[in-house]
Amino acid sequence: MTATPARRRYVNDKPAQAVLLAGSLLFMTVGLLLPLGELAVKCLTDANGAYVGPDNFIRFFSAASLARALYHSLYVSLMSTLAALPPAFLFAYSLTRTTIPGKAFFRHIAMLPLFAPTMLLGVSLVYLFGRKGIVTSGLFGALPWLGIDIGLYGSTGIIIAEAILVFPPSVMILLTALANSDARLYEAAESLGANKPEIFWSVTLPGVKYGVTSAAFVCFTLVFTDFGVPKVVGGNYGVLATDIYKQVVGQQNFNLGATISVVMLLPTLLAFIADNWLRRRQEGVVNSRSIPLVPKRNATRDLACFAFCLCASSVILAVFLTALFASLANLWPYRLTPTLRHYNFRDYAGGGYLAFWNSVRMAGYSALLGTAMTFGSAYLVEKTRKFAWARRTVYCLSLAPLALPGLVVGLAYIFLFNSAVFSVAGREIPNPLSRLYGTMLLLVVCNVVHFYTVGFLTASAALRQLDREFEAAAESLSVPFYATFRRVTLPLCLPAVIDIAGYFFVSSMATVSAVIFLYTPDLQLASVAVVNMDDAGDSAPAAAMSILIVAANIMAKAVFELASRRARKAAERWRNR
């Protein structure tokens, strides 16, 4: 056997990769940069498009009610964060550092609020703590001693509901932080004779402090930008999110809406940057030589933690069961006989089952496009070698959406896609993108961009776990990159791909903030229907629709979970003899 001539027939990967990268960049440009650009233009101009400089911002801060909304937003965000973090920490601690039974059950229950549109929490709280709520009325007068009126409408209601809302993400972050511990530190502390509280303060807390701050930033941002809860239980307690809605939907004052959304964006961005900065410092705390901590039995502590987890889970379950109960009650609170009449949405706002199925379709498409875009982009960034600047740009753009509240994204979209013409330097240019307005595609793109970062980071992490040389090995075998992607990369990342799709589905199904400005009469959506029905005072059908969304999400999640488990099993087959 002698050496063959050096040149070999091959497919040049470069043009195809260039096209794909350009596609990814184009998507982020149209889906992210251009809308944000329009938003920036809108907050610096008046209704007629004339440049007014900071006038809108001056108007914002001089209007007492708007400035107060900023204060309200900051106040409830801070209070909700403070209210949610200690129980979330205790919950995550119980699941990682104790030997209590039922950890998987508790973990699943804790994630339940992620499946619901945020309005559901508000609606449930009204049924629990409103004037005629279950608690307020002392279980409808059966337990009069229970009857306390907490004065739900206003900041109290918002803080309670938001604390429940941000519970799952903070538990998730703290679980990760607490799981990444080094048993050697604890052994060292014990051998030095430290007692339990000392160990907690000197080892446990410092080890998770970045997790705690990260959870705090996430809580703050989520509450600060949430729209659903204050819309339902806020009463007259205006916050920035509801003010944007009021300005844009109620008074069609887009410029002021844009201005408020920029005001809302700033603290969010700050939190995002601070969190990233802190996270970078955290690296290297736990290394590959660390020994994972295996919790030891401690009867008193475990019993207390179990009781606490039971309580926390009960609260979350109570919220969901209340919504379910209310949606089935004939005439709250006077006739509680069960009925399905609230599930017949015919006489209510929002579009009923048509809206529900629209939402399901939208969530399905978002899962598809979102997974394709995030995984594809992450693949190009992580696994190709050409066009370094383009890959770096894609990477940076992919992180940006995490810092953008849904309302801001939705608003930016309506500016870009709903104007028939752009006026540039006094001249009017027809806007080709306006054809997308009112289409399913635009809703899907909006969701994909809104939830982009989490999908992208999940994909990146999965891809980084693959051998860096797979691509080089395949290339040296003259196998084109797409063949390697199909035969190796994708099958190996299938569990992650399914997780990403599930995330996009569930998030898109429940979201309201990004799509509330974009839905059209042809394309009503379930979550928006919840807002509209609640607006009209039809809380029982609103609860019913929320329950449908939760049910769809639980079912979808179960399917995705099953698929993911099967994919993981396949991976196991490759590993084990």
Partner 1 sequence: MTAAPEKGNGGGAFPGRRAETPDRGLCVRGVCKSFDRTPVLTNVSLQVAPGEFVCVLGPSGCGKTTLLRVVAGLETPDSGSVLIGGGDVTRIPTAGRGVGIVFQSYALFPNLTALQNVAFGLRRRETGASSIRQKALELLDLVGLAESAQKYPGQLSGGQQQRVALARALAPEPSILLLDEPLSALDAKVRQSLRKEIRRLQRRLGITAVMVTHDQEEALTMSDRMVVMHKGRLTQFASPEEIYRLPSTRFVADFIGAMNFLEGWRAEGAIARYGGIDIRLPAPLGADGSVVTLAIRPEDVQIGRDLFPDENAFVATVAEMEFRGAGYYLTLKALTALKALTDGGKGGMRLEALLSPLRASQLKIGAGDCVKVRLPRERLICFAEDGTAVGFAGGGPE
Partner 2 sequence: MQTGKTILLTAAALLALLIGSAVHAGEAIVVYTALEDDEYPAYLELFAKQHPDIEVKIVRDSTGIVTAKFLAEKDNPRADVIWGLAATSLITAQKGNLLEPYAPKGIERVDPQFRDSGQPPAWVGIKAWETGFIVNTIELEQRGLPMPKTYADLLKPGYKGLIVMANPASSGTGYLTVSGIIQIMGEEKGWAYLDRLDDNMMQYTHSGSKPAKMAGQGECVIGISFGYRGLKQKSSGEPVETIWPAEGSGWDLEANALVKKPAIKDAARTFLDFAISDEVMRLYANIYPITSVDTGLPPPKGYPADPKSLIIENDLEAAAAARDGVLAEWSRRYDGKSESR
Name the residues that contact partner 2, by CB under 8 A.
Answer: 64-66, 68-69, 72, 75, 126, 130-132, 151, 153-156, 235-238, 246, 249-252, 254, 330-335, 346-349, 364-365, 368-369, 371-372, 419-420, 435-436, 439-442, 444, 486-487, 490-491, 494, 497, 520-522, 532, 535-539, 567, 570
Tell me, letter by letter, the H, E, C secondary structure of 412-458.
HHHHHHCCCEEEECCEEEECHHHHHCCCHHHHHHHHHHHCHHHHHHH
Under a CB-based contact definition with an 8 Å cutoff, are residues 129 and 148 in contact? no
> Does the footprint of partner 1 cover residue 6 (CB under 8 A)?
yes
CA-to-CA distance for 460 and 399, rounded, in angstroms? Answer: 11
Shortest distance, CB of residue 435 to partner 2, whole angstroms?
8
The number of residues in the chain equals 577
CB of 534 to partner 2, least distance (A): 8
Contacted entry of partner 2, partner 1, none for residue 187, CB cut-off 5 to 8 Å set by kind: none
Residue 295 partner contact from partner 2, partner 1, none using kind-dependent CB cut-offs of 5 to 8 Å:
none
Residues 14, 20, 25, 29, CA torsion sign: positive
- Which of the choices partner 1, partner 2, none does residue 483 contact, using the CB cut-off of 5 to 8 A by kind? partner 1
Selection from 43, 547, 5, 40 nearest residue 255 by Cα: 43
CB of 295 or CB of 333, closer to partner 2: 333
Q: Is 469 helix (H, G, I), strand (E, B) or coil?
A: coil
- Give exposure, 528-542, as e/b (b: 16+ Cβ within 10 Å): bbbbbbbeeebbbbb
Instruction: Give the Å distances, CA to CA, from 183 to 205, 285, 403.
Output: 14, 13, 35
Q: Provide the 8-state DSSP code for 351.
A: -
Please tell me whether residue 574 binds partner 1 under the rule CB under 8 A: yes
- Residue number, 234 or 495, with CB nearest to partner 1: 495
Q: Which is nearer to partner 1, 457 or 479 (CB)?
A: 479
Q: For residues 11 and 139, which CB has a smaller minimum distance to partner 1 in the complex?
A: 11
C-alpha span between 16 and 434 (Å, rounded):
29
3-state secondary structure 12-63: CHHHHHHHHHHHHHHHHHHHHHHHHHHHHHHHCECCCCCECCCHHHHHHHHC
**Alpha carbons 317 and 306: distance in angstroms, whole number:** 16
**Alpha carbon distance 437, 478 (integer Å):** 44
CB of 377 to partner 1, least distance (A): 22
Span near partner 1 by CB under 8 A; candidates 10-18, 59-67, 450-458, 530-538:
10-18
Task: Compute the distance between CA of residue 393 and CA of residue 395 in angstroms, rounded to an integer.
Answer: 5
Q: How far is the CB of 495 from partner 1 (least distance, A)?
A: 12
**C-beta of 63 vs 472, nearer to partner 1:** 472
Residue in 19, 47, 429, 483 binding partner 1, rule: CB under 8 A: 483
19 makes contact with partner 1 (CB under 8 A): no
Task: Tell the smallest beta-carbon distance from residue 567 to partner 1 (Å).
Answer: 11
Q: Which one of 280, 281, 289, 575 is in contact with partner 1 (CB under 8 A)?
A: 575
Q: Which does 333 bind (CB under 5 to 8 A by kind): partner 1, partner 2, none?
A: partner 2
Q: Kindly identify the residues of this chain, within the stretch 448-467, that bind partner 1 according to CB under 8 A.
A: 467
CB of 570 to partner 2, least distance (A): 8
Token digits of residue 144: 């009069």
Residue of 487, 566, 568, 569 interacting with partner 1 (CB under 8 A): 487
Q: How far apart are CA 66 and CA 261, in angstroms?
A: 12
By CB under 8 A, tell whether 236 contacts partner 1: no
For partner 1, the closer of residues 1 and 266 by Cβ is 1
For residue 472, state whether it binds partner 1 (rule: CB under 8 A): yes
Number of H helices, E strands in the chain: 25, 4
Pick 111 or 571: Cβ nearer partner 1: 571
Residues that bind partner 1 (CB under 8 A): 1-14, 385, 467-470, 472-480, 483, 487-488, 491-492, 570-571, 573-577
